[in-house]
């Protein structure tokens, strides 16, 4: 199969990544193969190899795409004069991205494929998403909203809580949408009160 034109390349790349994510999330790592992903998207394994090299390359791109989507969600959050509102909006964006991409979430933050280990270049590409959280926490510290225990430790706490809530919500463990919303609201309210200056 010839290399797709640029427009077709992007469309096919996204379809293959999403198909791989859905297979991995629904059936586990044993079900994920280049042949299966090709079948799910109505293309050939040659196209998968052309775009990703092999299964490991596909996994790497699935991982990176998940973080690219998260970075885009964060970038869409406006920066206002209220640093706490901006920080909470990042939490909302994190949750919305997880709900929109549940098939990529576990690969981003878990180890569903034990042999997949992001390399240093991949780790460097995903770092800006956490840096955005640290920066938002730093604004809260700088403007006297949070006590100054450091932006990084605050970001770690918020990230851990958001990740835990997302993981539970994606597994249906937080109840229906109203119940899940209440858990998110109470959790963030409690933590931000505890961090208040």
Does residue 58 lie in a domain region?
no
How far is residue 26 from each of residues 55, 70, 100, 118, 177, measured CA to CA in Å?
17, 21, 15, 22, 21
Instruction: Examine the domain organization and report whether 77 and 36 are in the same domain.
Output: no
Instruction: Examine the domain organization and report whether 44 and 67 are in the same domain.
Output: no
Instruction: Examine the domain organization and report whether 47 and 80 are in the same domain.
Output: no
Instruction: Examine the domain organization and report whether 29 and 85 are in the same domain.
Output: no
Instruction: Examine the domain organization and report whether 90 and 178 are in the same domain.
Output: yes
pLDDT of 8 reads: 81
pLDDT of 9 reads: 83
CATH number of the domain at 22, please: 1.10.10
Torsion of CA 33, 37, 39, 42, to 10 degrees: -160
Instruction: Examine the domain organization and report whether 170 and 109 are in the same domain.
Output: yes
DSSP state of 120: H
pLDDT of 119 reads: 92
**Which residues partner with 196 through β-bridges?**
146
Instruction: Examine the domain organization and report whether 35 and 11 are in the same domain.
Output: yes
Does residue 123 lie in a domain region?
yes
Contacts of 158 (CB under 8 A, 6+ apart): 87, 91, 133, 137, 191
State the residue range of the domain holding 9. 1-53
Does residue 154 lie in a domain region?
yes
Instruction: Examine the domain organization and report whether 84 and 180 are in the same domain.
Output: yes
Instruction: Examine the domain organization and report whether 15 and 83 are in the same domain.
Output: no
**Which residues partner with 146 through β-bridges?**
196
pLDDT of 58 reads: 97
The structural domain count of the chain equals 2
pLDDT of 3 reads: 54
- The whole-number mean pLDDT for each consecutive block of 10 residues of the chain, a chain of 197 residues, reads 59 96 95 96 93 96 97 96 97 97 95 92 95 97 96 97 97 96 96 92
Can you give the pTM of this predicted structure? 0.91
pLDDT of 4 reads: 47
Instruction: Examine the domain organization and report whether 9 and 90 are in the same domain.
Output: no
Instruction: Examine the domain organization and report whether 48 and 93 are in the same domain.
Output: no
Instruction: Examine the domain organization and report whether 89 and 20 are in the same domain.
Output: no
């Amino acid at each position: 199969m010839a290399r797709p034109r640029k427009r077709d390349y992007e469309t096919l790349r996204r379809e293959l990544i999403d198909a791989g994510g859905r297979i991995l999330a629904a059936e586990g790592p044993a079900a994920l193969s280049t042949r299966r992903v090709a079948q799910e998207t109505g293309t050939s394994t040659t196209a998968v190899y052309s775009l990703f090299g092999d299964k490991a390359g596909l996994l790497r791109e699935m991982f990176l795409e998940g973080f690219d989507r998260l970075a885009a969600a964060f970038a869409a959050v406006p920066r206002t004069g209220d640093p706490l509102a901006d920080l909470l909006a990042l939490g909302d964006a994190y949750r919305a991205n997880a709900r929109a991409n549940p098939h990529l979430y576990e690969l981003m933050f878990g180890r569903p494929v034990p042999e997949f280990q992001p390399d240093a270049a991949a780790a460097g590409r995903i770092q800006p998403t956490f840096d955005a959280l640290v920066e938002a926490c730093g604004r809260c510290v700088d403007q006297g909203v949070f006590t100054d225990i450091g932006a990084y430790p605050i970001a770690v706490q918020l990230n851990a809580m958001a990740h835990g809530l997302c993981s539970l919500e994606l597994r249906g463990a937080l109840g229906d949408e109203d119940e899940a919303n209440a858990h998110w609201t109470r959790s963030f309210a409690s933590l931000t009160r505890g961090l208040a200056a």
